[in-house]
Amino acid sequence: MNRLEGKIAVVTGSARGIGRAIVEKLAAHGAKMVVSCDMGETSYEQKNVIHKILNVTDREAIKTFVDEVEKEYGKIDILVNNAGITRDNLLLRMSKEEWDIIMKVNLDSVFNLTKAAIKPMMKARTGSIINMASVVGVKGNAGQANYAASKAGVIGFSKSVALELGSRNIRCNAVAPGFIETEMTAKLSPEVVQGWRDAIPLKRGGQTTDVANTCLFLASDLSSYVTGQVINVDGGMLT
């Protein structure tokens, strides 16, 4: 069923992994146009996907990009802030550069893109904003103080936006993935991966489509009464 027929969606960090799965899911469910934004080159089979190079740390580039999307397609119905990176280190060894770049990519970009995208959403009095958090932003993790802080910030930001914009029929939710098996986790040793799986109640890692399915729910009218929430996609990890 085309849950998103006629919708215009923007997805960041979409060249691979979770972001790519989200783009493919939204496109498959009939979004009129899914604008994939990433610094990496990529292509998609679906005709309703267009890929644009966007540096999510560049505030002026973001403003220009949102203006161009609105001018070309008339609106933005869905924004998925998925772009994110890691720079893991123990706090005693963590450099200011490792802290700053995580905040710029993982948190500042969410602020800048959301602030720009809510303008066309407010005009239309409708919209769904989906921000990618992490279970690490909920519970913390040793060696990831910068990443955990950025994702906790995404959660607090999402709840605040939901409170501010609910009266305009704009919803904002966060998705917190747990251990999702991607190209990145494929580089880990089998012992480490199995250790993760053993600690999860469902005894398996998640797939990128598990996260994409949750985003589809939040992007569509199926979740029309859901806002300000953090949905853990973690196999029960935080239970």
Active centre residues (catalytic): 147
Helix residue spans in 74-166 (DSSP H): 96-102, 109-124, 135-139, 145-165
| Cα(89)–Cα(79) distance, integer angstroms | 31
Residue 197 tokens read as: 């799986």
Alpha carbons 181 and 234: distance in angstroms, whole number: 11
Tokens of 122: 């407010």
Residue with the two structure tokens 């994409």 = 212
Specify the DSSP element, H or E, that contains 19: helix 17-28
